[in-house]
Amino acid sequence: MKTLRESIEIDVSPEIIWDWLLDLAENYLEWHHSHIKANWETEKASELGSIFYAEEDISGDFLKMRSKLTELIPNSLYRFKTVGGLKIILAGGSFEIEPSKNGSVFTATLDFRMGNLLSKIAKKKVKKISQHMMEEGENLKKILEKSE
């Protein structure tokens, strides 16, 4: 298993980040220019068991992702597992929020099912995804700090 992790300090409270995450389908397209489509496939959104669907283009790689919410700790943890075909490679991930002196630290993680050999073969893709995650963090910081 290979975990990609990106953290950024955002000068807003954990509650503001949490509220933004609870409206993920509505906020997804604004979050990053490569995000194409997002919606909840279940009747209920942002609850345990809810299924989130998203499409994005990461540097020419078109991805369709379905994620099931598996753990929600208000103002702290938003964990999901991948469902559908992509789960062969992407196990899941999380968004973690920790209070900090100036607001919050937001950490995004993605857990990939790959060992050292596959990591070397997919090195360029992993780098693109890491860059994308960093940009998402920077964009989220701009979005949330601007709204304050």
Q: What would the pLDDT profile of 131-148 be if each residue is shown by its tens digit?
A: 999 999 999 999 999 876
Distance CA(31)–CA(66), nearest Å, equals 18
* pLDDT, tens only, 50-94: 999 999 998 888 989 999 999 999 999 999 999 988 888 889 999
The model's pTM: 0.91
Distance CA(99)–CA(10), nearest Å, equals 10
Query: Above 70 in pLDDT, residue 5?
Result: yes
Distance CA(33)–CA(73), nearest Å, equals 28
Its CATH class, for the domain covering 2-147, is: alpha beta
What are 4's two structure tokens? 């990609």
Indicate the average pLDDT of the chain: 92
| pLDDT at residue 54, as a whole number | 96
Among the listed residues 130, 85, 123, the one whose alpha carbon sits nearest the alpha carbon of residue 109: 130
What are 69's two structure tokens? 């919410």
| pLDDT at residue 20, as a whole number | 97
Q: Which of 16-25, 29-38, 47-56, 125-134 has the lowest mean pLDDT?
A: 125-134
Domain range annotation of the chain: 2-147
